[in-house]
Amino acid sequence: MSYDWKAQARQRQDAFLEELHTFLAINSIEDMTTAEEGKPFGRGVAQALEYLLSRGQEDGYETKNLDGYAGTIEYGDGEDDIGVLVHIDVVTVGEGWTTPPFEPSIRDGRIYARGALDDKGPALAAYYAMNIVKDSGLPLSKRVRFIIGTDEESGWLCMRHFMEKDSLPQIGFSPDSTFPMIHAEKGQINPTLTIPSDGQAEFQGGLQLLSFVSGDQGNSVPELAKASVRADDSTILEKMLTQWPHFLEEQATTGQVSMDSAGHLHLSLKGKPAHGMEPHVGKNAGTTLACFLQQFPFEGAAASYLSLLANILHEDFYAQNLNLACEDGVSGALTVNAGILRYSQSEGATVRLNIRYPATISREERILRLEERVAELGWTISELRSSKSHYVPKDHEVVQTLSRVYEEQTGLPAELLSSGGATYAKMMPSGVAFGPLFPGKESTAHQTDEYIEIEDLMRAMAIYAQSIYELAK
């Protein structure tokens, strides 16, 4: 007798949507200004973590809070376990939302909110899936471990802390990507490039870049860029004012310009946000604004900064100008996103890159090439973090099991995919990213008006429930 996973998910839809509204309304953007003991990434993230752990306690599971860095909700017994790894932190929201990002709105069968797709909606769907398995009464031979991370969108410090306190399952999935399945993930190299200030606090004449700010998340394409300049030659500023609207028209974007009482010119430019793994999908506001400014005679650190952005990084999505371009047959081409861009007279310039290299390419060799190229450009690397790539062969048990479940429930072939994104799946030796997006559906992760279709969440819930059972039975 087969168990009707779809029907069980459907019975829970009303309760799920009511709870999802509450969960998505929690602003779980990392906020270090409110960080404290037990809340290492701020109060909002801590509130979202505690929300899920409280739900686990109410439903009779064994729960654990690992110092606010991560949490676990566990069901069943057994020497072996399977993992379901989710995250409850979200990226910043930007501007232009139709409805407030933390006031969930249902329109045309979609639920809109920051985190609806990445990853709070799927996380709650996977939790409900675990409840379905528990309520079924079907016997399991393995323990199910629902593991909650809090720093996935930033530095993954949550997982580092988790591994110091506990051990991760060998197999499992993360509901943080697309169906049918991501079995190969690119690795990441995240360097911060630096050039020091010219050391001239006083205005020395000529054209001067006072400040430049764009982006606040390394793994997102910057949506907005702002810059301020001054000059002792008014004709330069007049030329900027004249050329600005033509530049915006050429770039098919919008922006603003104003002059303050001190004669300083302030410019802002709107880009298009996108996930850092797909920089070509967005429009980088920072590098685009640099393209405009670098036409004018800046000098010193400002000139070097604008040149790097405009001539090296702008729309060079595959890092050819950085001498890093490569690809493999498993996960495709290396990509680069210039995510956080800063310049000030007192502190100089910093550029934080998010580089995603193919699964079968050497990380060490790419880092060496990067260091050589950055030195050639006259910059230094002040900080560098990296993470390994991930690959699970198609004949592995977890791939075969989840493929079968997906095909049974959808009637579609389970074609294996690779991704430039990094999910918690790579934390498990044999973990894969599994949904929630179905083939052909738009991904709005990290974008304005982020959403997921409610029907897709319910379909994913049923797939997750059967998958948990099949892996743990």
Question: Catalytic site residues?
Answer: 89, 152
Residue 5: φ, ψ to 5° = -65, -40
Cα–Cα dist 76/140, whole Å: 7
DSSP letter for 362, please: -
Beta strand 81-87 with 143-149 is parallel
Helix (H, G, I), strand (E, B) or coil at 142: coil
Q: Where would I find the beta strands (DSSP E) of 165-306?
A: 171-174, 177-178, 181-185, 187-195, 207-214, 224-231, 255-259, 265-270
DSSP letter for 458, please: H
Please answer whether residues 378 and 207 qualify as being in contact, where contact means their C-beta atoms are separated by less than 8 angstroms: no
Cα–Cα dist 121/45, whole Å: 15
408 token code pair: 């049974």
| Angle ∠(321,190,222) on CA atoms, nearest 5 | 75
Quick one: which of 271, 244, 273 has its CA closest to 259? 244
Residue type, 382: S
Angle between helices 43-58 and 120-136 (to 10 degrees): 10
Cα–Cα dist 451/99, whole Å: 11
